[in-house]
Amino acid sequence: MRKRKIGHSDLFVSEIGLGCMSVGTEEKAALKLIDAAMEHGINFLDTADLYDKGLNEAFVGKVLKGRRDKIIVATKVGNRWEEGASGWSWDPSKKHIKEAVKGSLQRLQTDYIDLYQLHGGTIEDNIDETIEAFEELKKEGIIRYYGISSIRPNVIREYVKRSSIVSVMMQYSILDRRPESVFPLLQENGVSVLARGPLAKGLLTDRSLDVSTKVKEDGYLSYTLEEIKNLRTQLTNELNRPLTEIALQYCLHSPVVASIVAGASKAEQIQQNIQAASASRLLDDEWQMIQESSKAVKYEQHQ
């Protein structure tokens, strides 16, 4: 498995990472799936304290035993759970971050986190306070690096300008090219993209187009169902590659993308993703063809 460096850090991660949110809540099956990912060369595991109220982190923690130095672990913070209250609420405060990290460390059964990510964020947050919390955790050796998980250009710009983030996790695929508008800024500042949703909920895979009622009625983002069908056909016919391979290689074409964080509920999906990511790179004219055939939609909000 080829590796790339995350931003200006010294974290070298596999080009395919495992989005652990998808492994489910049955422990034996979840651990088997994470083990399968690692056996196939994945060294990057992404989780969050939000996923199944910490259970997901606990699963990752069990996998870390005896091989902590071989795994790059990313988790997230910013959502606070209150029993008997309204459930999850947004809390990017320094107090919450420094308290929440203790729970994550305990569940992960480790004394440090490789990449700690803010799980969201708005321009109204006290961004300097949030940055201060992460910087203190870095100095204390509790986290090695930090990043954000956000699709809001205005939030991303502020963190790039005011902090030492090394990554931004964003939904990115051929059907969702909105992140490309901030790629130049990120690349110029040594900040990597961690791409989630590269297969657009299965719409960009080689499986038959078995879509939900919602997709049939509403389409996917700016695409109608008919446009998705036409694009799939055009890409596979003109590029003569499997669709999954086209989708993942499109994301990996940009050097600003450090890793594709792909979910999987079966070991076969992990193998397929790795195989697709390990295929030959897109030629520049192949990438250009995809650019011309798909929509270059930009973010309209949070500018």
In angstroms, rounded to a whole number, what is the distance separating the alpha carbons of residues 224 and 214?
11
End-to-end alpha carbon distance in the chain: 37
Which are the contacts of 119, defined by CB distance < 8 A and separation ≥ 6? 48, 49, 50, 76, 77, 78, 79, 149
User: Counting every residue, how long is the chain?
Assistant: 303
What's 279's DSSP letter? S
In angstroms, rounded to a whole number, what is the distance separating the alpha carbons of residues 5 and 273?
20
Cβ 55 vs Cβ 30: under 8 Å: no
DSSP per-residue letters across 50-61: TGGGGHHHHHHH
In angstroms, rounded to a whole number, what is the distance separating the alpha carbons of residues 108 and 98?
16
Which are the contacts of 218, defined by CB distance < 8 A and separation ≥ 6? none
Neighbours of 42 (CB within 10 A): 25
Amino acid occupying residue 187: Q
Residue 299 falls in the annotated catalytic set? no
3-state secondary structure of 220: strand
What's 87's DSSP letter? E
From 51, 146, 172, 250, the catalytic residue? 51
In angstroms, rounded to a whole number, what is the distance separating the alpha carbons of residues 273 and 264?
9
Which are the contacts of 271, defined by CB distance < 8 A and separation ≥ 6? 40
3-state secondary structure of 247: helix
Show contacts of 218-221: CB within 8 Å, 24+ apart: 220/175, 221/175, 221/176, 221/297
What positions carry a catalytic annotation? 51
